[in-house]
Chain A
Amino acid sequence: MTHYQLIARNKQKSFLIIAVFIAFIAAAAYIMAKGFGYGLDVVGIALIVSGAMSFVSYWFSDQIILGISGARPATRKEFFDFYTVTENLCIGQRMKVPKLYVIEDTAMNAFATGRDPDHAVVCATTGLLARLDRAELEGVVAHELSHVQNYDIRLMSIVTILVGLIALVADWMLRMTAWGGGKKSDRSEGGQLQVVFFVVGIVLALLSPIIAQLIQLAISRNREFLADATGVGMTKNPDGLASALAKISQDREPLEAANKATAHLYISNPLKNVRGSVGMFSSLFSTHPPVGERIKALRGI
């Protein structure tokens, strides 16, 4: 598959995800309307809402993701190496310099988002920036810039907002019914609403593995290998990225700002060593190839 076919595929998949999302929401609304005896105008509202959400996810996914992750803009003065290394790689690639953000966290990780190379964002944790040297950082940034060039960012960001949202809503609804209070004796409207939440939560939770599968289908682990290889093409220095990945994999700390929806964006799985359902999710439906394999592939270049 050539570079251009890959980009075309990514654009098609992005469109497909939006279509599937709208269809899914409409179908869910239809079933609920039938089940609870509401009128079919609920479906109309659901269609409008899901259409608006798709619009938002296309245009503002980067802002939303940065907001969820608690990122702030990186200045040249404060993060000299991060800033200049990105600038330099963009000179080499003749592409627009993406906006740069940092997350205040000692865990080592990085991701790219946005809708196209002209509206792209690269974000790294301060832990990553503090512990990698310039050559290693160059490897990581080059990896992220390949995601930008391949339009991986558009697909991954839309997946994050639309598909990830369903997974998150399922989590919240279940939590709200389990711990959200609401006394058993309370048989008023609040009680009925809770039943609705519970049912929706259960249904979505049952769908969760399918959602995970969807994310995986869309993302595919080859994407990471490909970005590694393209990134090395930019730096001509496979050792930089390989030793960065080695350092990142030795870092045992999970990234607090990451969740089910955003995990697949990162260069290495941010949910490692997280206990509970989220951790299980990440190991069962891994969107990242093992770092060892990636390093081996890089050493072979």
Chain B
Amino acid sequence: MGIGIILLIVAGVVVFYFVSVYNGLQTLQTQIAASIQEIGNQLKRQASLIPNLESSVRGYMSHEKGIFDMLTTARSSATKAANSGSVSDIDKAISDIQSAMPKISIAIEDNPEIKADSTVNNFMTELGDTADKLMYSRRSLIDLTQSYNQKLLMFPSSLIASMFGFKAEKGLATATTGAHVEVSDAETQDVKVNL
């Protein structure tokens, strides 16, 4: 076999590798974009559930004004995030609903009348499920971003990525410092139980 043919085969393999890495990166980028849209989609669902919950509990707890304010904030930030699709808006919307949920649960637990209302219960389980769906769509984004960014850093796919100017994806904006990654002194102490 002539040396020309061998070179040709090698070149073919290299080209094939380039194409497959390039296409793999493009696929991941579109998947990441789609997973962000999915989060927006779930936020929209949440935003449309909240008014229903509001109207069905309004009769029971007209005195609990704070809760309605929180629900309104949560809804408006969810709508904003769903429309803009920006990751920081999404983070805010999620934290808004997460801070409101426990208070609503407590108010419902305290009030036997609401607890017995099946409409309210339905909305609460739907909201809880939407929270799960949000969690899983965020996980999808995290996983995709991880495998994309890994390809950008690992040799030899990093060569191709830099050649075509692929940029690292941010994924979910999670602060790398702060209370959620630190262990406080109190948490390292043994738990004392008085019986």
Bind each other: yes
Q: Is the interface of B mostly helix, strand, loop or mixed?
A: helix
Complex contact A92–B136 (CB within 8 A): yes
* A222 on interface, CB distance cutoff 8 Å: no
- Cβ contacts under 8 Å, B136 to chain A: 88-89, 91-92
For this complex, into which size category does the number of interface residues on chain A fall?
Answer: 10 to 19
Distance between Cα atoms of A99 and B143 in the complex (Å): 25
Q: Does A251 contact B (CB under 8 A)?
A: no
Task: Tell me if B125 and A94 are in contact (CB < 8 A).
Answer: no
Residues of B near A88 (CB, < 8 A) are: 129, 132-133, 135-136
Residue of B with least CB distance to A93: B140
Q: Is the CB of B125 within 8 A of A92?
A: no
Are B140 and A84 in contact (CB-based, < 8 A)?
Answer: no
Q: Which residue of B lies closest to A233 (CB)?
A: B143
Contacts of B139 in A (CB 8 A): 92, 236
Which residues of B sit under 8 angstroms from A93, Cβ to Cβ? 140
For A80, the chain B residues whose CB sits under 8 A away are 125, 129
Give Cα A149 to B93, complex, Å: 33
* Contact flags B47-73 to A (C-beta < 8 A → 1, else 0): 000000000000000000000000000
Cα(A71)–Cα(B20), bound, Å:
43
- B144 → chain A closest CB, angstroms: 8
Complex interface residues of chain A between 65 and 114 (CB less than 8 A to chain B): 80, 84-85, 87-89, 91-94
Establish whether residues A87 and B31, one from each chain, have CB atoms under 8 Å apart when the complex forms. no
Q: Is B129 touching A92 in the complex (CB atoms < 8 A)?
A: no
Q: Are the C-beta atoms of A94 and B31 separated by less than 8 Å?
A: yes
Compute how far the CA of A87 lies from the CA of B135 in the bound complex, rounded to whole angstroms: 12
Distance (whole angstroms) from the CB of A12 to the closest CB of chain B = 24
Partner of A84, one of B31, B38, B129, B135: B129
B77 at the interface (CB under 8 A from A): no
- Other A-B pairs, 19, CB within 8 Å; known A88-B129, A91-B38, A94-B140: A80-B125, A84-B129, A84-B132, A84-B133, A85-B132, A87-B133, A88-B132, A88-B136, A91-B136, A91-B137, A91-B140, A92-B136, A92-B137, A92-B140, A92-B143, A93-B140, A94-B31, A94-B35, A236-B139
